[in-house]
Amino acid sequence: MKFNLKVIVQTFILPVFFLISNSCFNRIDSPRAFYFWRSSFALTSEESKMLSTLKVNKLYLHFFDIKYDENTKTEIPHAVIKFKDDTLPLVEIIPVVYIENSIFKNKTDSACRILASKTIELINKICSYKKITPKEIQFDCDWTESTKLAYFKFLTTAKEFLPQKIQLSVTLRLHQIKFPLMTGIPPVDRGTLMFYNMGNFNPAESDNSILNLNQANNYINSLKDYPLALDIALPLYSWAVVFRNGKPIDILHEFDGNSVSSLPELKALNKNVFTAKTGFYFNSVYIQQNDIIKIEEILSAQLQQAAEMLSGNIKKENRTIIFFDLNEKTFNRIGRHEMETVFNNFN
Amino acid sequence: MRWKPFLIILISLTLLPCSYTELKSCTDGYDNVIEDITLFDVQHPTFDIFKVFLPNMFDNGIFQYGRDNEDSLNTLEWSKYFKNKITTDSIQALLYSASLPDLNNLLLNSKAKSNKAAIEYFILLRDSTTQYKRDPDTYSWEYHPNLDSSQYLATISLCKKRFYDAGNNFLKQRYGYLTLRLLRFNCQYDECIDWYKSNLSSVHLEGTLKYRSLQYYAGALYHKEKYAEANYYFSRIFDEYPARAGQAAFDFRPNTMNDWNATIALAKNNHEKEVLYFLFGRSDPMQALKNTIAINPNSIYIPFLLKRLVNNVEDASREVYRTGPAINFSWYDENGTTYNSDSCYACIYGSSLMGKQDNTEVARQFVNETALEFSTRDKALWTAAAAYLNLLLNKNQDAYTMIQRTIALNNKTNNLDDEIKILQTIYTIKTTKIIDEKTEEVFSEIISSPAINKKHDNEYGSPINSVNAYCMQLISDTYVRQGDSLKAELCSRTNHLYYKNNTRVRLERMKDFLSKKDFTAWERYLSQSYSYNLNDILESIVTVKLYEHKFEDALKLLNKIESYNPQELYGDPFIIHIIDCHDCDFELPQKIKYTKKTFLEKMITLSNLIETDKNLKKKSEFCFEYANGLYNMSYAGNARLLSECLITNMANEDDYFIEELNLSADFRSDFWKLYNDCSEAEKWYAKALYYSSDNEFKAKCTWMIAKCQLQKFYTNTTNPITGSEVYEFDAYKTLKAAYSNTDYYKSVIKECEYFRDFALK
């Protein structure tokens, strides 16, 4: 029998190869995303490049905050987004609205309904202005037991005002995930676990209020059982906490290790804690003599540990991994490769 | 044209809320303002002019606050322009409220050239104001995506043209100013700076326009990061133009020390330096005081800076501000042992680094030293301030010396009579180690003094009596130390959670105290100033007894309360569902509307029926209904209103703190535990089940037992809740094992997702 190699390859080997390759490599990667939290939308070239090289799928775009206004005795939007860039990146845009928890204290059902209506209306106006067709809308509120009912009423109503095809998501803190029966499970389609801001402000060198994996370890086991689909948000930012007379009084958002070297007014108490030898201004904030400044940074090793800790403890399917937030100032500390590695941890 | 009739019509047509304001933060800055109250409320002749900065003068309108009203000044300038022929009301309507169509009509009917020119200006002003209102920075539920630059640019061109063409300097100045403002609002900072330098200096701006323009110019400089120059101009506006003093002070914001040093270098004389140090002193009053004293020991700014420094120490010392959040609350047991939240505080903020370098002590030493060295007309103010800081930081001996010096220096001019009285009172209280009858007599006298009872407005404008409250808090602390928790509670409710434990015993003690017939003067003062009266306490005792399930005792006491105001429960407290739905219960038609009293009566009746009825089926049903009452009066049920009394309110407040602090359930109050406890209901559901022979009914009882177990779990757990733990209550297992063939079981499966997940495992 004469073997026709071409026929054999076409008939047997190629299909088997494709079969194997499909079964082995048909992996669905977790969608990649960033939050964008500045109130004026404009991407630097570095930020645009980061979105494209990392093959980011989504951008969680902060649309506005809702805060209580003492003057009008009602809640009003703050920091409503302005668009300096005419075009948006070619990724899915998810509008995000931050709501102060105190707004929901003692709020009646009808007031929640009115607030939900106004909020969705403003989101719609912004979407329509930038021709955004969202598939998901996210609310960010650190609700507590005392505000749970009102916040959930707000969410239920907001959902009613949205077309069915739009998913509603909320941000979740670790304690809300650990105690779902106490804090309640929000009536939404999915949640984003904010895996940051988890520690207390403390000038001790070893503590980091942004990412505290010891603290997180107490909560991590609860993730698998949480009934909502979970996306994960991880921190990229750094800050400095200012302590005066024993109390944390301010956070300097653009303060990192590099800032210290240019400030002769500071004296190191240890690696990341400093005291002010004299009073001085830093970015319009006045630091008094004897104030303590503690720098809290996220480094790639910590981020990697966090990713490993999380990836083994959350359901695999359909989860988006989000970095907070897209800002080129963080790229020096955590570069593209480090971010890529973190994303890959979840695949 | 006859102005007056037309303007009357125009005003009547346009009496819209006057939302127009020219003031807008030029630098987009904000500042920390001490918002709280102060005990150091010394009056000083210079304070009035700086009152925008005083802690108890803070209000949210601060950005529009100045010592003069700019609108009135502007109106006067226009009045002069119209040679006083138009009323100020009419001018204000033209400037601030007339609509564009009305102004256009007015223009059509206007004949005099100067009037026509003025109306043309008003039209352009109104038009540009409308554009400003579309500024995206304006908070609103409307969305204004961006400034309409094209419209702005057209208006700016027109303004410039009118500026060049203006026939008189009055209008020329205004067009020049308007151009500047529009350039600023359109974020054309370079053009704004150029326009000011090249054109406005030549027209010799006068009156309000001089400083309004300077402020926009300085704002543009700030945006271009020319901080030193910008801050220098803000200080000039602060000093020379009272109408915008508040705004300018808030805009003053050096970015770095280099900027600050460069600003100081721009000062042309010592007076300008004083002003700059004063503004700097809002951030660092002690340093500002040192610098100011060095150049002018008689500076009018010194008393204010001193007050600011004292306020900062007050703020930092925590002692004065006990009405704040839970980080400083405490409670104590029957022996007077105090438990405070220092441990909680430490877990939030604490560390060994805290408190080692404390600015409050540095400030105290500085004020003491300066009070001794300083010899100006304000020396008495310094000694009073030193005395107060010494008291705040528990340096009582030093405080005594400074009080004596203040008394010696006091005279009619500085008039520190009230402050001396306050200092003496605080000193007396602070140095009292044990309060006995004699001390109480002294306290009843000093605490009633008018100086101690002066009221101040807090930041919300509500009058509060901070000195009295502080003194009573100190006395309360002493009572706590000597184990008299009742009087500690009577003196001050703040942060002493008197009713948290041993609730009923303590309520009974309070009842006995308030029922006394032979009060001493001090006791009478305490009973009258206490937040609650005898009826409040009695109703709380009723409520606690109710939750202790002592229904007959509770009813007897309730019947004795005079002026008891019964509240109807929202829903029927004896019905129950598979899944609780309080709102649904409230909407159901109810034959009987229960109150606390009728609820108690019904529970007593049911209890008697259970006792006496021999029919097991009925007995079982009575037990079930009784258990429903117990379930519904708990936190889980539909009759939470039964729990409402002063104790509940306190428990809610405590719970809020506990929640905020993320503390464990052990910190909960006795009443909270009673209110959340469903074990008695569970017991009676079990009895109902025991007496019943109907499987459907038994299934229902078992389900309710499961709900009680769930509530117990919520109340007690501090452990992670995982799926398996939640679903495996004993009653769940019993329900599945023994009653899965009942209709009720099927209904539970249908309605309750949790149980369904458990059952289908």
Q: B466 or B435: whose pLDDT is higher?
A: B435
Number of A to B CB contacts under 8 A, please give it: 127
- Tell whether the model's pLDDT for residue B723 goes beyond 60: no
Residue B537 backbone phi and psi in degrees, to 5: -65, -45
Residue of A nearest to B280 (CA): A286
Q: B651 or B458: whose pLDDT is higher?
A: B651
Pair A286, A280: CB distance under 8 Å: yes
- B113: exposed, middle or buried (C-beta count within 10 Å: 0-12, 13-18, 19+)? exposed
- DSSP sequence for B442-501: HHHHHTTSGGGG--EE-TTS-EE-HHHHHHHHHHHHHHHHTT-HHHHHHH--TTB-TTSS
* Cα distance between residue B671 and residue B664, in whole Å: 16
The C-alpha of A213 sits at a distance from chain B's nearest C-alpha, in angstroms, of 17
Q: What is the pLDDT of residue A206?
A: 67
**Closest alpha carbon to A277 in A261, A265, A295, A262:** A265
Pair A145, A105: CB distance under 8 Å: no
Pairing state between β A74-78 and A92-99: unpaired
Q: Once rounded to an integer, what is the mean pLDDT over residues B173-186? A: 92
* Cα distance between residue B452 and residue B447, in whole Å: 6
Q: Is B45 left (phi over 0), alpha (psi -120 to 50) or beta?
A: alpha
**Chain B residues 138-167 with a CB less than 8 Å from chain A:** 139-143, 145-146
* Beta strand residue intervals within A70-189, DSSP E: 74-78, 82-83, 92-99, 136-140, 167-172
- DSSP sequence for B549-576: T-HHHHHHHHHH-TT------SS-TT--
Q: Once rounded to an integer, what is the mean pLDDT over residues A175-190? A: 84
**Residue appearing with tokens 């729990």:** B643
CA angle, residues B636, B637, B643, in degrees to nearest 5: 95
For B84, other C-beta atoms within 10 Å of its C-beta total 10
Residue of A nearest to B62 (CA): A71
- Partnered with residue A241 across adjacent β-strands are A251, A294
Q: Closest to B722 (Cβ–Cβ): which among A83, A144, A222? A: A222
Q: Once rounded to an integer, what is the mean pLDDT over residues A115-141? A: 95
Look up residue B94 and give its DSSP letter. I
* Cα distance between residue A154 and residue B214, in whole Å: 47
Q: What is the pLDDT of residue B539?
A: 93
Q: What is the pLDDT of residue B308?
A: 80
In chain A, the N- to C-terminal Cα span, in Å, equals 48
Contacts 24+ apart (CB under 8 A), B168-172: B168/B114, B168/B117, B169/B203, B169/B204, B170/B77, B170/B81, B171/B117, B171/B118, B171/B121, B172/B203
Residue B352 sits at the chain A interface (C-beta within 8 Å): yes
Q: Once rounded to an integer, what is the mean pLDDT over residues A145-152? A: 87
Residue B668 sits at the chain A interface (C-beta within 8 Å): no
SS3 B272: helix
Mutate to test the interface with A, among B143, B286, B328 (most CBs of A within 10 A): B143
What is the tens place of the pLDDT at every residue in B19-67?
A: 222 223 333 333 333 334 555 555 555 554 444 444 433 333 333 345 5
Instruction: Kindly state the tokens that stand for A250.
Output: 């301010």
Pairing state between β A239-244 and A190-194: unpaired
Instruction: Kindly state the tokens that stand for B671.
Output: 């009443």
- Tell whether the model's pLDDT for residue A23 goes beyond 50: no
Dihedral of alpha carbons B517, B521, B522, B525, sign: positive
Residue of A nearest to B29 (CA): A284
- Tell whether the model's pLDDT for residue B5 goes beyond 60: no
Residue B261 sits at the chain A interface (C-beta within 8 Å): no
Q: What is the pLDDT of residue B137?
A: 53
Pairing state between β A273-276 and A266-268: antiparallel
**pLDDT tier at B727, thresholds 50, 70, 90:** low
Pairing state between β A32-36 and A74-78: unpaired
Q: Once rounded to an integer, what is the mean pLDDT over residues B511-535? A: 94
* Cα distance between residue A22 and residue A14, in whole Å: 12
- DSSP sequence for B597-629: HHHHHHHHHHHHHHHH---HHHHHHHHHHHHHH
Dihedral of alpha carbons B523, B524, B526, B532, sign: positive
Q: Closest to B358 (Cβ–Cβ): which among A225, A245, A249? A: A245
**pLDDT tier at A224, thresholds 50, 70, 90:** confident
Dihedral of alpha carbons A101, A103, A104, A109, sign: negative
Least confident interval from B53-67, B309-323, B625-639, B703-717:
B53-67
- In 3-state terms, chain A is what percent helix, strand and coil (to 5)? 35, 25, 40
What is the tens place of the pLDDT at every residue in A105-126?
A: 888 889 999 999 999 999 999 9
Q: A65 or B62: whose pLDDT is higher?
A: A65
Instruction: Kindly state the tokens that stand for A98.
Output: 């931050």
Residue B331 backbone phi and psi in degrees, to 5: -145, 170
Q: What is the pLDDT of residue A42?
A: 93
- Tell whether the model's pLDDT for residue B171 goes beyond 50: yes
**pLDDT tier at B431, thresholds 50, 70, 90:** very high
- Tell whether the model's pLDDT for residue B702 goes beyond 90: yes
For B524, other C-beta atoms within 10 Å of its C-beta total 13
Residue B256 sits at the chain A interface (C-beta within 8 Å): yes
Look up residue B198 and give its DSSP letter. I
The C-alpha of B142 sits at a distance from chain A's nearest C-alpha, in angstroms, of 7
> B270-280 and B301-317 helices cross at what angle (nearest 10)?
20
For A214, other C-beta atoms within 10 Å of its C-beta total 11
Mutate to test the interface with B, among A281, A283, A285, A296 (most CBs of B within 10 A): A281
Q: What is the pLDDT of residue B68?
A: 61
The C-alpha of A74 sits at a distance from chain B's nearest C-alpha, in angstroms, of 11
Q: A251 or B1: whose pLDDT is higher?
A: A251
For B100, other C-beta atoms within 10 Å of its C-beta total 13
Q: Once rounded to an integer, what is the mean pLDDT over residues B219-229? A: 95
Partners of A126 on chain B (C-beta within 8 Å) are 143, 145
Q: What is the pLDDT of residue B35?
A: 35
- Partnered with residue A32 across adjacent β-strands are A321
Residue B722 sits at the chain A interface (C-beta within 8 Å): yes
- Tell whether the model's pLDDT for residue B430 goes beyond 80: yes
Residue B584 sits at the chain A interface (C-beta within 8 Å): no
Residue of B nearest to A65 (CA): B139
Q: Order of strands across the sheet with A273-276?
A: A247-252, A239-244, A292-296, A273-276, A266-268
Torsion of CA B654, B655, B661, B664, to 10 degrees: 110
**Closest alpha carbon to B27 in B195, B231, B168:** B231
- Tell whether the model's pLDDT for residue A246 goes beyond 60: yes
Burial A222-251 (b: 16+ CB within 10 A, else e): bbebbebbbbbbbbbbbbbbbbbbbbbbbe
Q: What is the pLDDT of residue B693?
A: 95
User: Inter-chain contact B136–A77, Cβ cutoff 8 Å?
Assistant: no
Look up residue A328 and give its DSSP letter. G
Torsion of CA B556, B561, B567, B569, to 10 degrees: -20
Pair B176, B199: CB distance under 8 Å: yes
Pair B367, B403: CB distance under 8 Å: no
The C-alpha of B145 sits at a distance from chain A's nearest C-alpha, in angstroms, of 6
Pairing state between β A247-252 and A321-324: unpaired
Pair B706, B735: CB distance under 8 Å: yes
Q: B302 or A97: whose pLDDT is higher?
A: A97
Partners of A202 on chain B (C-beta within 8 Å) are 349-351
The C-alpha of A276 sits at a distance from chain B's nearest C-alpha, in angstroms, of 10
**pLDDT tier at A77, thresholds 50, 70, 90:** very high
Residue B18 sits at the chain A interface (C-beta within 8 Å): no
Residue B161 CA to its chain's centroid (Å): 50
Q: What is the pLDDT of residue B332?
A: 37
- pLDDT > 70 fraction of chain B, expressed in percent and rounded: 78
- Tell whether the model's pLDDT for residue B521 goes beyond 50: yes
Q: Closest to A281 (Cβ–Cβ): which among B256, B287, B660? A: B256
Is residue A325 reached through a cis peptide bond, with omega within 30 degrees of 0 on the bond before it? yes
Mutate to test the interface with B, among A80, A129, A153, A223 (most CBs of B within 10 A): A80
Least confident interval from A306-320, B210-224, B341-355, B500-514:
B341-355
